[in-house]
Structure 1
Amino acid sequence: MTPPALPALHLGPHTIAPALVLAPMAGVTDKPFRMLCKQLGAGLCVSEMTTSDPRFWNTAKSLNRMDHAGEPAPVSVQIAGTVPEVMAAAARHNVEHGAQLIDINMGCPAKKVCNAWAGSALMRDEALVARILSAVVQAVDVPVTLKIRTGWDAAHRNAPVIARIAEDCGIAALAVHGRTRDQHYTGHAEYDTIAAVKQALSIPVLANGDIDSPRKAAFVLRHTGADGLLIGRAAQGRPWIFREIAYHLATGETLPEPGVAQVRDILLAHLRHLHAFYGETSGVRIARKHLGWYAKDRPENAAFRAVVNRAESAAEQLALTADYFDGLVLAEAA
């Protein structure tokens, strides 16, 4: 079956091609990872969630999350919060610091976020959703996007209602994760609700949830009629998934998986960027989770992690990683 076409996505003055977006993930989609995914085929990469509370804008974590120097355009920054006026101020602040798109988080299921009545908890208060969206759209002159879930729980799948509110408030595009908040990331994403949202709206709709292969991407596009896709957890350790999906949708064929030597080179470049961005101590620590993701589908995963996680310096981490992959390259050639 011929895969569905994936036209470019237009958000204000920005053309997103391909319409494959790295979904915002706290602790994952930092600048080094965003830039890597962009190099490997993502049309747009959204920042980690940034707080709308101005008391925390000057912390080391927030400053890192708001650092967009050298990042390919367009720069998309996700903000989270509950007070319309505070969210509006946060949007203005991020635009002043380089954001060219503002994304509003109404999809995060984390307890500490929802307990503060932010993230997906906001879907329980449709009137507040409207006030927040209107305030943010009116506060900035850049396109504003929104990410939601299908609802709070199975009995309250109100994504179509929230979607109509978003369109009425001037949201430029809507991303829908095919799970309710109470599912977190368990079970399987469902796409019927996303299809219903797409049918009801004239603004672009992007599908999200369990899109972990080119064939799954084609299935989700066909089933939902979505204008684009958000890829989240499937990009962890496999940032080349974007070019694989784009190639399959364009040709109907499957792009070969990158060889061990290519994975090694991608990973080493990623590690160097993490070390430079965070400094050696934090960079080495943060790199460990990425190392685990890169190796997770390989039979030597446990042994590899046991070795590289002992590294305390950037040089040692790079050397151990290179040695491990060099060994795989030699074994592959034997």
Structure 2
Amino acid sequence: MVKIENIELPDFPLLLAPMEDVSDPPFRAVCKENGADLMYTEFISSEGLIRDAIKSRKKLDIFDYERPIGIQIFGGDEDSLAMASRIVDVTNPDLLDINFGCPVKKVACRGAGAGVLKDIDLMVRLTAACVKATRLPVTVKTRLGWDDQSKNIEEVAERLQDVGIKALSIHGRTRAQMYKGEADWTLIGKVKNNPRIKIPIFGNGDIDSPQKALEYKNRYGVDGIMIGRAAIGYPWIFREIKHFVQTGEVLSGPSVQERVNVCKTHLRKSVEWKGPIVGINEMRRHYSSYLKGLPNIKEFRNRLVVLKTPEEVEAVLDEVLTTYDGVEIEHSPIELINYHEKCPL
């Protein structure tokens, strides 16, 4: 069992990464159903919360079936982060997470997200301000450093633990790398195996298969793995990793029935949370991933992305189910897209 203060997680838990414009309640719901042990909201601007910005406040929405769940905030000012922490406290999540890893220019170049990696003393002060302001366990998600010349994650881990964080998630790239090249887990392993470190350490970066998850678990000794891009359009990654870790067997991929059912669940929750217009429009980007691998599926995809009511979409999804009944989908490798290219920030 892995514990984040009073939160009990299973041995080697799988975490859903907080992804802007991705990790909303509808997406989290289908990931939870398929085995995610701990999830986070999209990151929320501390300044936006303080200004009572509608979009920021909307991201505070959490539901009991999602628990345990953390709300993630970002910012570069101690007072603002402390005030935002108190606002988050009222919404009663299970934990508060601070984002020191977002590489997007509009965040990092304003001295927030991964931008804080340039000033470790500031990072420590910001973290301490959050810890003091909330009753919730505080965790942090960050990267190895700002660039290859400043990979300071070992110092960061010790100092953030000293000011009271209860767990640390580390993405195996620097900010300069963005999502290019391969994630380097070597320093993640060094942090985990540092005798001074007593808090759970979760690794993140490039986990796109059950085999790689088990390999990295054994090689680097991390307490758990955080999965981001591999879950986009493929929430089954969680159950497949769990099954492989427990049995050594590769689980069959989702059937057509499962794909259609999850797509419908995602659609219904999207409409319920966002309203019919936005809910329908924002679901259009997901159909391709859910139906990937079905032969000659383009015609159905083209129809799905122009429909305007949930009833019409579900009717076409039922057609997909009838048309492809009994078809076995080839278990193709998961594609790790750079979702930040389409990020609205």
* Alignment partner, residue 181 of structure 1: 175
Query: TM-score when scaled to structure 1?
Result: 0.92
CA contact under 8 A between 1:57 and 1:63: conserved in structure 2? no
Structure 1 counterpart of 2:312, from 307, 313, 316 = 316
The runs of 5 or more residues in structure 2 that have no matched partner are 330-345
Are 2:267 and 1:271 aligned?
A: yes
User: Alpha carbons of 1:296 and 1:151: their partners in 2 closer, same or farther (altered >3 Å)?
Assistant: farther
Q: Distance in 2 between matches of 1:122 and 1:39?
A: 35
The AA in structure 2 aligned to 1:138 is K
User: Alpha carbons of 1:205 and 1:331: their partners in 2 closer, same or farther (altered >3 Å)?
Assistant: closer
User: Alpha carbons of 1:102 and 1:280: their partners in 2 closer, same or farther (altered >3 Å)?
Assistant: same
Are 2:163 and 1:169 aligned?
A: yes
* Alignment partner, residue 290 of structure 1: 286
Q: What do residues 23-45 of structure 1 show as CA deviations (whole Å, max 9, x unaligned)?
A: 00001111111122112111111
Are 2:27 and 1:33 aligned?
A: yes
The runs of 5 or more residues in structure 1 that have no matched partner are 1-7
CA contact under 8 A between 2:153 and 2:187: conserved in structure 1? yes
The AA in structure 2 aligned to 1:10 is K
Q: Distance in 2 between matches of 1:161 and 1:65?
A: 32
Q: How does 1:1-334 map to 2 (within 5 A)?
A: 8-17=1-10, 19-54=13-48, 58-200=52-194, 201-300=197-296, 302-329=298-325, 331=327
**1:319 to partner: Cα distance:** 2.0
Q: Distance in 1 between matches of 2:66 and 2:177?
A: 34
The AA in structure 1 aligned to 2:286 is H
**1:130 to partner: Cα distance:** 0.7
**1:326 to partner: Cα distance:** 2.9
* Alignment partner, residue 3 of structure 1: none
State the number of aligned residues: 326
The AA in structure 2 aligned to 1:264 is V
**1:245 to partner: Cα distance:** 0.7
CA contact under 8 A between 2:271 and 2:279: conserved in structure 1? yes
Query: TM-score when scaled to structure 2?
Result: 0.90
SS in 2 for 1:182: coil
SS in 1 for 2:172: strand
**1:90 to partner: Cα distance:** 0.7
SS in 2 for 1:210: coil
SS in 2 for 1:229: strand
* Alignment partner, residue 4 of structure 1: none
**1:293 to partner: Cα distance:** 2.4
Q: What do residues 97-152 of structure 1 show as CA deviations (whole Å, max 9, x unaligned)?
A: 12220000001111111121111110110110010011111111111110011111
CA contact under 8 A between 2:49 and 2:87: conserved in structure 1? no
Q: Distance in 2 between matches of 1:90 and 1:96?
A: 10
SS in 2 for 1:94: helix
**1:267 to partner: Cα distance:** 1.1
**Comparing 320-329 and 74-83, the one that deviates more:** 320-329
**1:216 to partner: Cα distance:** 0.7
Q: Distance in 2 between matches of 1:297 and 1:165?
A: 47
**Comparing 279-288 and 250-259, the one that deviates more:** 250-259
The AA in structure 1 aligned to 2:35 is G
The AA in structure 2 aligned to 1:61 is K
**1:60 to partner: Cα distance:** 3.5
Q: Distance in 2 between matches of 1:66 and 1:291?
A: 26
* Alignment partner, residue 334 of structure 2: none
Q: Distance in 2 between matches of 1:57 and 1:220?
A: 42
User: Alpha carbons of 1:66 and 1:230: their partners in 2 closer, same or farther (altered >3 Å)?
Assistant: same
User: Alpha carbons of 1:159 and 1:301: their partners in 2 closer, same or farther (altered >3 Å)?
Assistant: farther
**1:287 to partner: Cα distance:** 0.7
SS in 2 for 1:103: strand
**1:208 to partner: Cα distance:** 0.3
Q: Distance in 2 between matches of 1:78 and 1:30?
A: 12
Q: Distance in 1 between matches of 2:63 and 2:262?
A: 21
CA contact under 8 A between 2:304 and 2:313: conserved in structure 1? yes
SS in 1 for 2:98: strand
CA contact under 8 A between 2:19 and 2:42: conserved in structure 1? yes
Q: Distance in 2 between matches of 1:56 and 1:141?
A: 19
The AA in structure 1 aligned to 2:87 is H
**1:301 to partner: Cα distance:** 5.4
